[in-house]
Amino acid sequence: MSAERKTLEERAQMSDIDRLRHSCAHVMATAILRLWPNAQFAYGPPVENGFYYDFDLPDHRITPDDFEKIEAEMKKISKENQKFEWKGISRD
């Protein structure tokens, strides 16, 4: 998938792996917000080999040393068994 914003029709046709990557991006965003509540998120789509988020942290610079902490928080969030549900909403 490209990093361009998807239309509603394109989102409805996402593959299972793209949906998983999209959900993982949300889990990562939640983990980062729990660890650094001042984080500001800009954009974070699934991409061909995974997912990412662009964000700004005014109080911290993330380094590879933080990856283990982020991953642990993501695992904790996953174990919370939060419901991820796709819901189509019209713009009308």
Structure token digits, residue 71? 């991953």
* pLDDT, position 2: 43
Rounded Cα gap, residues 66 and 51, in angstroms? 17
- The predicted-structure confidence for 6-61, as pLDDT tens digits, reads as follows 665 666 677 888 888 888 888 999 999 999 999 998 776 777 788 888 888 988 89
* Domains of the chain as residue ranges with CATH: 8-79 (3.30.980.10)
- The predicted-structure confidence for 69-81, as pLDDT tens digits, reads as follows 999 999 999 999 8
pTM: 0.73
CB 7 within 8 Å of CB 28? no
